[in-house]
Structure 1
Amino acid sequence: MDRRRVLVPLTTALLAFAAAATGAQSEATAGPPPPSRPDKVVIIVVDALSKEIVDKYDMQNVQALMADGVDTPRSYLGHTGSVTVVTHNVITSGMLPKHMGWTNEGYRDVDGVLGAPGGLYLTSNFGYDQMAPLQEHAGYPHLSDYLDDTGKVFTVSPKGYAAYGLAGPGSENTSVTTFTSGPTCDGIRYRMPTGVPAPPAYISSACGSRYLVERDKGYDTLQFPAQLYPATDDRYVVGDEPAHQGGDVWATDAVLDIMDHEGDGWSGIFVSLPGVDKAAHMWGGVNDPEGATPNYDPMTHMEFATATADAQVGRIMDALEESGQLDSTLVVLTADHGSVAADEGHWHGDFEPENDYGFFNWYYGDPENDIFYNRPQEALQPLVDTGNVGFSYSDSSLNVWLTDQSPAATREAAAVMRTLPDVTAVWHRNGDHFDRVTPVRWKLMRSPGEKAWFSRKAQELVDTQAADYGPDLVATLRDDTTYSVLGDHGGIQRSTQQIPIVFAGGGLSSKDLRAEVRSIDIMPTVLRTLGIEPTYDMDGKAYWLPRAKR
């Protein structure tokens, strides 16, 4: 498949006719010229940034972008699984998970793309060599495939699977910068930049480089609840070494270096900032105890993480303005999911004083690309006891790939899932949609708002992962409930679905869109705004963004 842009002759003819008609007008009647289209795009993904978090932590640069750009007050994520490894790819493909190659943190390789047909995989372990074949097998183009005709495309993310999702399979005109294990310099172990294709040469991995960050550092996170998914290096947190800051600052420094070195030679920059996500997972999101934490180090917590992410948004916008490129650059600010903060009594994971014990809460089963996760939390044990769980992924929803998919075995598993703590309903995949196979437990829902959201959105959101490589059964959970860590993603809850989607720069006005814009709508809207004709039928809708008057 040729995934480069194809110009449609009729469109070209109409544009030529419009230009001729405009030229025929006198200067007295033509009025001021309309703003030119942007020819570049910057996408900033602040991982786990719900609208609730923006408001609670008073993220002023994000709020300014919402006020000055085209905000979408009714926006929401629009799909499940609402997880990093899914949404970064959704944003730059415009495809729902059920059409993009994988739907969640579990994946059944029904077509044998990665190995023997039927193998079960953990997708957040995917690197370029696994993600690119799945993207190519599904057959759709990425945003980078359109943009690299007119300039270089750069993707920066401390998370490898986020970087490769945003970037797509790439070409010689694209570059990915993420982390891998690095050298030991003067007795200190570091992480260093890597990528496929490789990062630019000025983002160095040599000893002494700014782009090395320290490993073997836990700060105050080696205790409950953070120890479930602790900071053990400066990959996702800024750290305490001014010359080697990690996390969001590392990613933003790379973006600014790219802008400085490439001048006007780039057409797309995609960056994800992971600091808010890491703090939310460790400390319970908006329930973070902050100063009440023993041996409190503010650097690992939500208040610091949100302030840091907000500052990086400001730095990127300032750099665009100072370089004179803001008017020619469409800026998109969004998130890959929000964050569910588990209330007391509604966290159903287990804890042992071991680093990363939360992985045993997230996963059960023996995926082809990881260890055998054989220590399920007590709350999930009745389902495991059926002997029919090939793989399960549990966060703020429960997702199960069955070993025996026969009707009788499926009914048995669904009946058990119905009884698990805080399950509101169980859904069985039936082709391209899910059938709800248990009554809704409305009594678990505490507010009219939660009930109304479930009524309007549950079926739509669950259906977005109805693919044969997706889960066989899904259990939705009540608000403020997780089975994994105290702050998590994954389900249909408003706190994980209601994320910002903002368009700014590029000559746009500050008039808001009132539509329910979703993540899948970002890609087609970007193409429309840049005047690029899509070559593939996307799931998302292209919106006209209001332009500023000159």
Structure 2
Amino acid sequence: MARRRLVVLVAGLVACVGAVAGAQTGAAAEPEPRAVPDKVVIIVVDALSREIVEKYDMDNVEALMADGVDSPRGYLGHTGSVTVVSHNVITSGMLPKHMGWTNEGYRDVDGVLGPEGGLYITSNFGYDQMSALQRHAGYPHLSDYLDDSGKVFTVSPKGYAAYGLAGPGSSNTSVATFASGPACDGVRYRMPTGVPTPPAYLVGPCGSRYWVERDKGYDTLQFPAQLYPATDDRYVVGDEPDNQGGDVWATDAVLDIMSREKDAWSGIFVSLPGVDKAAHMWGGVNDPEGATPGYDPMTHMEFATATADAQIGRIMDALEDSGELDSTLVVLTADHGSVAAEDGHWHGDFEPANDYGFYNWYYGDPENDVFYDQPQDALQPLIDTGNVGLSYSDSSLNVWLKDQSPAAVAEAAAIMETLPDVTAVWRRDGDHFDRVSPIRWERMHSGGEKSWFTRKAQELVDTQAAPYGPDLVATLPDDTTYSVLGDHGGIQRSSQQIPIVFAGADLSAKDLRGEVRSIDIMPTILEAMDISPTYAMDGTAYVLPRTKR
């Protein structure tokens, strides 16, 4: 797949002759051609907003921002701003409207997965479903460009994040994620799995290093964490020193791959989920921390951010110690930020049952999940129309209607306009959305929020304007969610303003001045690695500044 740009031998000989002549005459010698990186490492810290980096003083992230090529004006650049979308955006360079799915909901307009028009929840997709949509859309992934020059490895405790980052792949790619495993000596585990099967050293026998324990609730079986609690060590580090999960599990696997595969790998993509899990459970930057009854710091934001930061340091240290940092392009980014609901602006419902938050996120009877039939009270007027096929509610409201006639869509839009904290309602019209309600400026709380809405709302909503995307979208203010107390999905600055940093590969500390977006990461990587794209991407290739020699 990869087509590297040719270096003409004659030109190289001319440069050598010129350098010799310059040395003989006392003229300044031409600088040697700079080697391009031949490896790439992408580190995605799920839910890592710039606000979180600053509040929790993440030293290694801040060091990369200072010493590498930062993008201070960068932002996610699309909706839905959710994991199952963004991981695929990063390694495809495609907007959601062109990549096959746009959000947590999906309408199968082409019958790729089943009957035409079937509705699905995308975060339930396994490899077969996600790769079918990726192939149907027809674009290559970064792994397709890299896997003819070395092995490509993707590591993520979340299956759908791993498959999005990896792409459909080939025999030269490997994914390591989790599946339910058997019990060993009476202890239930999650075990490593993937497509194809991960390396044997990452699997091992039951109960070995990369198996993590289940049936662990810590302090999360209470409000608000019980809406989406930690019930095993998949996303948290856990209390078993020999079987740590979450970000440590993923980083240990990456370092194992680097050590064992040495010069054989060309790409490693890793997703660290700990910050995301803590933010969902405890309200992001509003985490009550020590005020939580039975407080266990391991499940909370301060521990999660410190842990993620330490893993970034471990990966960078390993590259430097191996001597590979100068030839490896490192990308640090996030799949979205985190919106923290303030008092009076959380519009979900709560029952003392684990994972009740799923009833706040979803309403409908998707092809690949149960019937979510307990909508939050705030959404009930819309449900009462009887026309909601599927809704997904987080820091925005997204609706797929059964009857898509103009009159039925207009009826639903008029009701959505009346729902709590809605700032505007948008109706899909081909490749864009039309705003069909007045803007509720009085529901925004600062000049900065109003300015961001003016500049970015239309752009961000339009990125999911596809037949398989929602028919209607309602935007919400900065501090509002309909789901759990810390969430993603919408246009808010706290969800959109994420780190996008390039490091290693002999890069300078000069920042990019443009508004770099997630779709720009893929073409920028190809530019830096001197690889010619074989498909037109939505993103822009930025030229990364190099150190002077």
Helix, strand or coil at the partner of 1:267: strand
Matches within 5 A, 1:134-533: 134-533=133-532
Q: Which AA in structure 2 matches 1:253? A: D
Helix, strand or coil at the partner of 2:433: strand
Equivalent residue in structure 2 for 1:23, among 16, 19, 24: 16
Deviation larger for 25-34 or 373-382: 25-34
CA deviations over 1:334-353 (Å, ceiling 9, x no partner): 00000000000000000000
Equivalent residue in structure 2 for 1:5, among 2, 5, 21: 2
- TM-score normalised according to structure 1 size: 0.98
Q: Which AA in structure 1 matches 2:186? A: G
- Is structure 2 residue 85 aligned with structure 1 residue 92? no
Helix, strand or coil at the partner of 2:181: strand
Q: Which AA in structure 2 matches 1:65? A: L
Q: Which AA in structure 1 matches 2:523? A: P
Deviation at 1:15, TM superposition (A): 4.1
CA deviations over 1:178-210 (Å, ceiling 9, x no partner): 000012111000000000011111112412311
Unaligned runs of 5+ in 1: none
CA deviations over 1:374-429 (Å, ceiling 9, x no partner): 00000000000011100000000000000000000000000000000000000000
Aligned residues: 543
Q: Which AA in structure 1 matches 2:220? A: T
Q: Is contact 2:189-2:207 (8 Å) kept?
A: no
Q: Which AA in structure 1 matches 2:187? A: I
Deviation at 1:34, TM superposition (A): 3.9
Matches within 5 A, 1:59-138: 59-138=58-137
Q: Is contact 2:193-2:203 (8 Å) kept?
A: no
Helix, strand or coil at the partner of 1:545: coil
Unaligned runs of 5+ in 2: none
CA deviations over 1:76-109 (Å, ceiling 9, x no partner): 0000000000000000000000000000000000
Give the distance between the partners of 2:168 and 2:365, measured in 1 at CA: 28
Structure 1 segments (4+ residues) deviating >6 Å: none
Give the distance between the partners of 2:327 and 2:421, measured in 1 at CA: 49
Deviation at 1:371, TM superposition (A): 0.1
Give the distance between the partners of 2:192 and 2:468, measured in 1 at CA: 32
Deviation at 1:16, TM superposition (A): 4.2
CA deviations over 1:131-173 (Å, ceiling 9, x no partner): 0000000000000000001000000000000000000001000
What is the alpha-carbon root mean square deviation over aligned residues?
A: 0.9
Q: Which AA in structure 1 matches 2:2? A: R
- TM-score normalised according to structure 2 size: 0.98
Q: Which AA in structure 2 matches 1:5? A: A
Deviation larger for 516-525 or 34-43: 34-43
Give the distance between the partners of 1:222 and 1:402, measured in 2 at CA: 34
CA deviations over 1:307-345 (Å, ceiling 9, x no partner): 000000000000000001000000000000000000000
Helix, strand or coil at the partner of 1:272: strand
Deviation at 1:17, TM superposition (A): 5.2
Deviation at 1:362, TM superposition (A): 0.1
Q: Is contact 2:19-2:30 (8 Å) kept?
A: no
Helix, strand or coil at the partner of 1:182: strand
CA deviations over 1:219-257 (Å, ceiling 9, x no partner): 000000000000000000000000000000000000000
Give the distance between the partners of 2:158 and 2:207, measured in 1 at CA: 22
Give the distance between the partners of 2:19 and 2:190, measured in 1 at CA: 62
Give the distance between the partners of 1:358 and 1:126, measured in 2 at CA: 19
Q: Is contact 2:91-2:165 (8 Å) kept?
A: yes
State, as a whole percentage, how many aligned pairs show the same letter: 81
Helix, strand or coil at the partner of 1:423: coil
Deviation at 1:23, TM superposition (A): 2.1
Give the distance between the partners of 1:227 and 1:17, measured in 2 at CA: 67
Deviation at 1:26, TM superposition (A): 2.3
Q: Which AA in structure 2 matches 1:373? A: Y
Call closer, same or farther: CA 1:314–1:378 in 2, change over 3 Å. Answer: same
Q: Is contact 1:35-1:548 (8 Å) kept?
A: no
Deviation at 1:35, TM superposition (A): 3.1
Q: Which AA in structure 2 matches 1:180? A: A
